[in-house]
């Protein structure tokens, strides 16, 4: 579960950044550049973590007398309370003209059960439901997903009125799941189109690679069926990115404490990143993806999608 917060600010000045003679590229500068490249005057800042990891749920003592099912409910209550408290604090931020707050919530059961309660989810503007193996194993003790289990769970999540999007629905490893084909997704895609639930596409992956062939084929079917699409990086922590493993410094040097400095001084990576984005956008164009299908291509598209979804929820 990742708390995603998006601040839309209306100040005239850009975020603080440092270009200098060396053309240093910081994460704040990246926000400024992307803001200008898209001709969008708003700055979006994302702060994210897995709620289960945030308060180390696995090391919280289990209260005496609780059954396994009661213990699972207890952890969901704790996570929901944690997210709700963060959300309340964010909404009290006087410097933001608008806050869009969202969550990546985990699907933990075959009927689409989620790892946060309805009360918590109802206070959020964007809910992305997805599978993460370690979370499902924590709640169910199960490691393997059958094809039928996956499709039932995704369908159940899509029917939840609080769910706005499915996160990386084609990305479970073959080590933990049955082999799945495009045809297996068709009923799910039809339901997503009907319910206006978006499919997440990770722009930081190579969409033309063999590893992502299923993803690209499913996206093609989603386009044909009018499923809304949401583009993202699925980029929760900089230090966990591929860049930390693909840098021109010695292995082991990059960590969460020095990542910003190493990142901004590695221009080769900046160019590779933007080439990847440009390539993926071209790939999506070739299969018929248009800005109108992408719910986060503009503030207007996002607001229109949210209004349409409220009608069918």
* Cα–Cα distance measured from residue 16 to residue 114, given in angstroms and rounded to the nearest whole number: 38
* Residue 212: Cβ within 10 Å count: 20
Whole-structure pTM value: 0.78
What are 27-58's pLDDT values in tens digits? Answer: 454 444 444 444 444 444 444 444 444 445 55
Whole-number pLDDT of residue 17: 31
* Cα–Cα distance measured from residue 125 to residue 103, given in angstroms and rounded to the nearest whole number: 9
* Cα–Cα distance measured from residue 295 to residue 67, given in angstroms and rounded to the nearest whole number: 42
What are 127-146's pLDDT values in tens digits? Answer: 999 988 877 887 788 888 89
Whole-number pLDDT of residue 107: 93
Contact indicator for 50, 1 with CB cutoff of 8 Å: yes
- pLDDT tens digit at each of 313 positions of the chain: 344 333 333 333 333 333 333 334 344 544 444 444 444 444 444 444 444 444 455 566 667 777 778 878 888 888 888 888 888 877 776 665 567 788 889 999 999 999 899 999 999 889 999 988 877 887 788 888 899 999 999 999 999 999 999 999 998 766 678 889 999 999 999 999 999 999 999 887 889 999 899 999 999 999 999 999 998 876 655 555 555 555 555 455 656 666 666 666 667 766 777 788 788 888 999 999 988 899 988 888 889 999 999 888 7
Whole-number pLDDT of residue 45: 43
Q: CA quadruple 191, 197, 202, 208: dihedral positive or negative? A: positive
List 3's β-bridge partners, or say none. Answer: 103
Query: For the chain, first and last CA: distance in Å?
Result: 22
Structural domains of the chain in order of their starting residue, each with its CATH number: 2-312 (3.20.20.140)
Contact indicator for 126, 150 with CB cutoff of 8 Å: no
Whole-number pLDDT of residue 27: 47
Contact indicator for 306, 228 with CB cutoff of 8 Å: no
């Amino acid at each position: 579960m990742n708390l995603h917060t998006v601040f839309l600010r209306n100040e005239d000045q850009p975020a603080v950044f440092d270009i200098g003679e060396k053309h240093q590229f910081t994460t704040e500068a990246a926000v400024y550049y992307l803001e200008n490249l898209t001709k969008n005057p708003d700055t979006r800042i994302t702060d994210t973590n897995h709620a289960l990891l945030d308060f180390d749920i696995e090391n919280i003592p289990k209260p005496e007398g609780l059954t396994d099912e009661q213990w699972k409910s207890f952890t969901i209550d704790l996570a929901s309370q944690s997210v709700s408290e963060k959300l309340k604090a964010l909404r009290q931020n006087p410097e933001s003209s608008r806050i869009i707050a969202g969550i990546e919530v985990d699907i933990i059961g075959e009927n689409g059960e989620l790892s946060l309660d309805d009360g918590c989810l109802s206070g959020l503007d964007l809910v992305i439901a997805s599978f993460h193996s370690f979370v499902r194993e924590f709640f169910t003790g199960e490691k393997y997903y059958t094809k039928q289990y996956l499709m039932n769970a995704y369908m159940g999540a899509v029917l939840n009125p609080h769910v706005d999007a499915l996160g990386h629905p084609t990305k479970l490893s073959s080590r933990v799941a049955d082999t799945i084909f495009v045809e297996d997704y068709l009923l799910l895609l039809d339901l997503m189109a009907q319910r206006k639930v978006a499919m997440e596409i990770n722009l930081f992956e190579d969409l033309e690679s063999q590893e992502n062939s299923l993803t690209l084929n499913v996206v093609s079917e989603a386009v044909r069926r009018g499923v809304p699409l949401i583009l993202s990086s699925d980029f929760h922590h900089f230090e966990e990115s591929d860049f930390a493993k693909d840098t021109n410094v010695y292995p082991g040097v990059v960590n969460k404490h020095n990542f910003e400095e190493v990142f901004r001084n590695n221009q080769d990576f900046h160019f590779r990143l933007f080439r990847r984005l440009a390539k993926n956008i071209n790939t999506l164009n070739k299969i018929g993806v248009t800005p109108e299908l992408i719910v986060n291509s503009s503030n207007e598209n996002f607001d229109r999608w949210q209004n349409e979804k409220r009608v069918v929820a």
